[in-house]
Copies of this chain bind each other. A is one copy, B any other.
């Protein structure tokens, strides 16, 4: 067991999976929460601190490499100097949209690809070198890069053209990174979140799974699975999990 100081970073740290994951990882590590706007991470930062953890929010747009460069420079020099990165989570939602294809613009496609593929690409470019450095410090758990997917990552449904393009693309990128960086000791895993997350914004979706209790996914339950993925021994890595409510049709 090393005495290295470690930290976690969660990008896309809004309500739901991002916030819950940051809370879960804050039980083990100081956490950086990245979102475009402070409103997205302020609540999570406060909750982590209230629970006795350490958290800092950093505003950045992952789809903009320069913005992300600045964020990581700040993390390195100001936020957690001397810390090694234990786990990085990319959870930014890129352009979920339900719309007939012929009413969809190429700008909407670009928006989806920016958030879901380019953002994850940039985030992986910044975090994988740090995670590789951590490998050498014999951390308690293998350094981990986690990325959130959706039903659209594995199924191109009608009227979800740009979302399917973007989420399939993100999954392909994650798979390629898993095969390249796994043998170097970094665990790259992808989660297919197949259902509606139970957050304030979705409270109104009364019809999800007939309104049955637990018919929407608890974000803290996803966070437990993310923690488990991070904690897996390197002889037994999982590359992909699916997560859905017990009543979800699939």
User: Is B225's CB under 8 angstroms from A232's CB?
Assistant: yes
Cβ–Cβ < 8 Å partners of A246 in chain B: 142, 182-183, 185, 187, 234-235, 237
Q: Which of A48-56, A76-84, A109-117 contacts B (4 or more CB under 8 A)?
A: A109-117
Instruction: Give bound CA distance, A243 to B247, whole Å.
Output: 26
Cβ–Cβ < 8 Å partners of A228 in chain B: 224-225, 228
Cβ–Cβ < 8 Å partners of A231 in chain B: 224
In the complex, A160 has a CB within 8 A of chain B = yes
Instruction: Give bound CA distance, A177 to B179, whole Å.
Output: 27
Number of interface residues of A (CB under 8 A): 80
User: Is B236's CB under 8 angstroms from A222's CB?
Assistant: yes
User: Is A118's CB under 8 angstroms from B125's CB?
Assistant: no
In the complex, A158 has a CB within 8 A of chain B = yes
From B100, B122, B239, contact of A244 by CB (8 A): B239
Instruction: Give bound CA distance, A155 to B175, whole Å.
Output: 7
Q: Which of A25-33, A39-47, A210-218 contacts B (4 or more CB under 8 A)?
A: A210-218
Cβ–Cβ < 8 Å partners of A110 in chain B: 118
Smallest Cβ-Cβ distance to A172: which chain B residue: B168
Instruction: Give bound CA distance, A177 to B109, whole Å.
Output: 14
Smallest Cβ-Cβ distance to A213: which chain B residue: B235
For the complex with contacts A164-B173, A225-B232, 9 further pairs of A-B residues with Cβ separation under 8 Å are A101-B124, A109-B118, A113-B117, A113-B169, A155-B175, A164-B172, A222-B236, A224-B228, A235-B246
Nearest 7 pairs of A and B residues by beta carbon? A168-B172, A156-B175, A169-B169, A221-B236, A156-B176, A164-B172, A221-B233
